Structure 1
Amino acid sequence: MAKGGILPLVLAAALDPNHWRPSFGVQGQDVSSHQGNVDWASQWNQGSRFAYVKASEGNYYLNENFSQQYNGSRNVGMLRGSYHFAIPNWSSGADQARYFIANGGAWAADGATLPPVLDFEFNPYEGRTIGGFYFGDTCYDMSPSQLASWVRDFGNTVRSLIGRYPVIYTNTAWWNHCTGDAPGFGEYPLWVARYPSSPTNDAGPLPSSWSRYSMWQYSSTGPFAGDSNIWNGSYADLGAFARNGVPSAAFQAISGLR
C-alpha cells in the first residue's frame, strides 16, 4: 500500500484495467485518498467483490474520502473493511489502535464488514523530517523486538475493543528484515504484498508465522483502482471471514460433529 497521508507520494503507473489476474480466489482491491471518489459500479462490473479502504494513519490523519469509498463499495454489493497505516515510532500500538477503531476501524459481525487491517510495512517517509518529527529509516529506527512488541500492542488492543485480531498486511522481505521474522503471529490473518512482473499464481515466500495467506496484493497498477488483490478461497469463505473469521469448511465440520 505505502500510501502515507501527510506527505504526497509518487503514484504508481497508470491504471491498467487489462492487467493479468491470478486464476483463483475472489478479486478485490484497496484504496486510499489517492483514488478520490471511486466509481464503484465500474469496479464491480470489472469483477471486484471486496474492498479495503484506508481509514487512518498514525494518530494524526484520517482519509477525507473514507465515507464515499467505504459506503460506496458496500452500496454496489461489495464486502468492505478498513485499514490503518502504522507509523510505529510516532506513538504506541495501543494508541494507534484506539485511534483507528474510533475512526472507521470498527467491525460488526453483519456479514458485510471485513475485519480491520494493520498496514505494517516500509516507512514511506524514510529519512525525512516533517513538522519537526524525524521518521527514521525503513524500519522506523526501531529494533526487531520493538517492532514485534508494537504489533502485539496494536493487535491486543484491537482484540480487546472488537473481539478479534486484525489482519496484518505486510511484505515478506520487509517483515523479515525489520522484525527479524518475528514468530507468534499465526492468530493474525495474513495479507501479503508481492508484485510479480508476469502472470503467476505464486504469492512467494511467507514469513515463518504463517503457512497460508488470506489475501495477496498482486498489483498496484491494475486491473482495479488502487491496489488489486485476491482472496485465497471461495466467496463463501470470504463471507465467513467477514462474519467471524471461521472458514465455511470449518462451519460444515462443526455442523457434522453436532
Structure 2
Amino acid sequence: MAKPERNYTLEAVTYQYNLIFLAFLMLLSVVMWSAMPLTLAAGVEMIYLAMVPGTEVFQRSVENKYRAIEADNERKKLESRVEKLPLDRRARLEQVMNLIENTRANLTDDPENMLSGVESRLGAFQERYLGLCEAEHNYRTLMNTVNEGALVREIAGVEQEIKSASSRVKRSLEERYEVLVKRLERMRLVRDNGSIIRNQLATIEDTLKLIHESSLTMRNPQSVSTQLDDLLSEMQIAEDAVLEAESVVGSNDSRLEAFERELEEATSERS
C-alpha cells in the first residue's frame, strides 16, 4: 500500500509542544506588555519549521501517531462487530483470540526465526475467524425466522389448488409453486451450510489449540507451520460455504410477489 501524503509542516505547526510554546510566549507578551516575546516566537518558529518537519525522527513520530489512530479505529470496529454476536459465541471468540495472542507470543521467542511466516498468517486468521462467526450467527438468526413446516404445508396447499384450478389460474399457481419450492431449497441449503460453518468453527478451534500446544514446546517448529496450513484449509471450507449460502440468500422473492398479484387478478376475474 502506498505511503499516504503527509503535510509535515502542518504537523509541526500543530504539534502539541509547539502550540504550548507559542501560547506561553503570547501570554508572556501580554504580561510584559511587550512585543519582544512575539518577535522571539516568530524567529524560533521560523527556525523550527525550517528544520524539524524534514527530519526522519519527526516524520517517524507523525507516522506512528497515525498508525496508533488507525489501530484504535480498527479496535473500535472490531469491538462493534463482536458486540453483535451472541454471548456464547462471544465467549468462544475471546478464547480463540487469547489463544492466538499466546501463540504469537510464543513464536516471537523462536531463536532460529523458522516461523516468521506463521506469525503473520495468525494475524490474518483473526479477521477471517471473526467473519465466520458473524456468518454463523446471521444464518442462525435467519433460520429462527423461517418456519420450514409452514412452508412445506403451503407448498402442499398450492399443489392441491393446481389440480382444480382453471387454465389461467393454474399457470400462476404452477409458477408460484415453483418459487415456493425454490424458497424451501434455499432455506435447507442455508441450514446445511450453517451446520458446515459451525462444525468447521469447532474444528478450527481444536486445531488452534493444537498449534498453541506445539508452540509451547517448539520441539518441531515445522509442525506448527503445517498445522496452520491445515487450519487455513479448514477455514477455506467454511468460507466457501458462506459464499454459497450468501449467493442463495441474496436471491429475492420478487417473482413470488408478482405471481401472487397475478393470481389474485385471475381469481377476481374468475369470480
The structure having more radius of gyration, on CA atoms, is 2
TM range (shorter): under 0.3
So what's the TM-score if we normalise by structure 1?
A: 0.18
In proportion to residue count, which structure has more strand? Answer: 1
In proportion to residue count, which structure has more helix? Answer: 2
Structure of higher RCO (CA pairs closer than 8 Å, 6+ residues apart): 1
